[in-house]
Amino acid sequence: MEWLQLILLALIQGITEFLPISSSAHLALPALLTDWQDQGLAFDIAVHLGTLTAVIVYFRRDIGDFATGSLRLITRGTRDDSTDLLLKLIVATVPVAVMGFLLKGWVENQLRSVLVIALATIAFALVLWWADGRRGSTDKVSWLHALVIGAAQVLALIPGTSRSGITITAALLMGLSRTSAARFSFMLSMPTILGAAVLTTAELLAAEDDSRWGEMLVGGGLAALSAFACIHVFIALVERTGMLPYVLYRLLLGLVLILLLLGGMA
């Protein structure tokens, strides 16, 4: 790849993975507007692992609490708040893991189109706007919250939906505060991104891809740095900014994609 392509795609992945604006919609734009060649499976894996590294580093203290809480549960049979949260994250991951495995081929063959991405970007922007108006002030994630958010995450299989967008939407509708909704959504991304990377790695090995390690390391590093900064800024500012800026941006992006489609560029 050209260096400009590598840098741009890595930054797009890092920034849009955690903002509720749909990374798939943004990754569609370079292909529409340029003659760049496809970046390949290996690069996709690298930038996703970069974003996974970022969220792990950001929530390192919580992950440490998960580890000590799990050890305490195994050795003493006692369960604390951190263990409860870990179990809720596991429960919330099950629906998308099952449906992702069952529907992966159908989604890739039937739904990966610019029109689907554009319509989903617009539709779920409006749902996010509605949910933000119904948000609550609850900070503690219940088992019901985890089940509903996990079920909603299945909709992220539709390109253009945004994994973070739909999980934050569900969390807000269930009465969670903006900050708690964002934190649970971002923590939930860890098993989801890891699972997707494992599946994609299997495809890569089967295809015997010989992509260059240098591109993968640089791309993954840039994605990690930009994703970490994005998580930090979003969580710090979300209570003040709300979801309206992201809603408006999604509506504009969806409109741009439709115009490109009508203009014959897609």
CB 134 within 8 A of CB 171: no
Q: Give the angle subtended at the CA of 182 by the CAs of 175 and 198, to the nearest 5°.
A: 125
Range of the domain at 180: 3-262
Q: Which whole number is the average pLDDT over 224-253?
A: 96
Do residues 125 and 251 touch, judged by C-beta distance below 8 A?
Answer: yes
pLDDT tens-digit map of 61-93: 999 999 999 999 999 888 899 999 999 999 999
Q: What is the pLDDT of residue 77?
A: 86
Listed in sequence order, the residues at least 6 apart from 196 whose beta carbon sits closer than 8 Å to its beta carbon are 48, 100
Residue 20 main-chain phi, psi, to 5 deg: -80, 55
Predicted structure pTM score: 0.92
pLDDT score recorded for residue 86: 96
Q: Are 204 and 28 in contact (CB under 8 A)?
A: no
Taking the CA of residue 134 as centre, how many other CA atoms within 13 Å lie in the half-sphere pointing to its CB? 14
Query: Most distant CA pair in the chain: distance in Å?
Result: 65
Give, in order, the Cα–Cα distances in Å from 49 to each of 42, 53, 188, 233. Answer: 11, 6, 15, 20
- Summarize the confidence of residues 219-230 as an average pLDDT: 96
Query: Tens of pLDDT along 158-201?
Result: 999 999 999 999 999 999 999 999 999 999 999 988 887 777 77
* pLDDT (mean) for 9-35: 87
Beta bridge partners of 86: none
- pLDDT at position 69, please? 94
DSSP annotation of 176 reads: B
Helix, strand, or coil here: 86?
A: helix
Q: Is the pLDDT confidence value at 13 over 80?
A: yes
Mean predicted lDDT score pLDDT of the chain:
90
Q: What is d(CA 162, CA 240) in angstroms, rounded to the nearest whole number?
A: 22
Amino acid sitting at position 249: Y
| pLDDT band at 208; cut points 50, 70, 90 | low
The pLDDT value recorded for residue 187 is 97
SS3 138: strand
| Number of domains present in the structure of the chain | 1
Amino acid at the residue 224:
A
